[in-house]
Amino acid sequence: MDLKELGEFGLIERIKEALGGPLPDGVQGIGDDCAVLPQAGGMETLVSTDMLLEGTHFLRGDIPARLLGWKSAAVNFSDIAAMGGRPAGSFLSLGLPKGLDSDWMDAFLAGYKECSDFCGAPLLGGDTTTSQDGIAINVTVIGQCERGRSRKRSDAIPGDLICVTGPLGDSAAGLKLIIERNALSERHALSERHARLDRASQMAGQAGHDAEALVQRHYRPVPRIREGLALAATPGVHAMMDISDGVASDLRHILKASDVGATVRTQDVPLSAELRQVCAQQGWDAVTLALTGGEDYELLFTMAPGTEPSVPYYVIGRITEQKTLVWEGSSQDFMGFRHF
């Protein structure tokens, strides 16, 4: 059978079947943002890993190396944030094609360091090797938290409010803008080889500024470390994860792991002013982008009504006993991003 037929989650299930088995006491393996390993002194170690491949996750000409460096670190540290942990360090494997200029790598490393510094976690190791094809990047992050404090996907309870830490959809809209720019510049490539048409930067004043903000949100997601730590320190906060594939996909993980359902009020999904503006100009549906677009890296969490976390949040729905997912205010059944 071709792997494509399995899909990403089918593939993960297959790996779990092949390699699963009983784990030592207190160890949590596949199935959450991080694995959890108990330490001797009342703490827990958190670990997560992500692979980014040229051609699949990024195009070398499209994303500046410095931003790719930031993003490679950020999407991983976001997994530590999603558990409510404090980052301790990272490990970077780089497969680099022969002939790659060292300037590219220097810029990549500078961006990687910026994000590592932001998260307070030094690079502790890695691997470098030659790639026969494109650039291959793998990042593993390690963090820790007090035992029993890490937040799992499986902790949602009927009656919980469903919340997010910030506006959604900006990253997905930023990606659409980047793709449009590239298509535009390709169409003009023959007649004006050196003129890189850039619809967003040609927009007058505020419009160009809005578009650029969305592009930056795609290139430079901010791991919500501080927010994750604050939420994990708040007793009423139950399930938590980061939004990498879009709420529509990610919320389903919480529902499945917690064996519950949910009602999402689509009109309550927070949208940035920039997203509203650009969607109005382009004729895009902001709510669809916010629910199905990935890579926002905001935190998605559930909490008992009346809980007051010390960080800003937006309530977008409620966990239900009935195991269905209802999108109130919309006739659509939103699906998130699928990898395979």
Residues of this chain, 86-125, that bind a second copy according to CB under 8 A:
88-89, 91-96, 98-103, 105-106, 109-110, 112-113, 116, 122-125
- Dist. CA 48–CA 20, nearest whole Å: 17
> Taking the complex as a whole, how short is the minimal distance between the CB of residue 9 and a second copy, in angstroms?
9
Of the CA atoms within 13 Å of residue 288, those in its CB half-sphere come to 8
Q: Any contact of residue 330 with a second copy (CB under 8 A)?
A: no
Near a second copy in 13-32, by CB under 8 A:
14-15, 18-21, 23-24, 27-30
Rank residues 17 and 333 by Cβ distance to a second copy and give the closer one: 17
- Dist. CA 132–CA 134, nearest whole Å: 7
Q: Any contact of residue 230 with a second copy (CB under 8 A)?
A: no
Q: Any contact of residue 325 with a second copy (CB under 8 A)?
A: no
Q: Any contact of residue 324 with a second copy (CB under 8 A)?
A: no
Rank residues 228 and 317 by Cβ distance to a second copy and give the closer one: 228
Give the alpha-carbon dihedral of 265, 152, 30, 89, to 10 degrees: 110
> Taking the complex as a whole, how short is the minimal distance between the CB of residue 241 and a second copy, in angstroms?
14
> Taking the complex as a whole, how short is the minimal distance between the CB of residue 2 and a second copy, in angstroms?
6
**What sign does the CA torsion over 172, 176, 177, 182 have?**
positive
Work out the number of other CB atoms within 10 angstroms of the CB of residue 262: 25
Q: Any contact of residue 270 with a second copy (CB under 8 A)?
A: no
Among 129, 191, 324, 331, indicate the residue that binds a second copy (CB under 8 A): 129
DSSP assignment of 278-336 equals HHHHHT--HHHHHHH------EEEEE-TT---SS--EEEEEEESS--EEEET-S-----
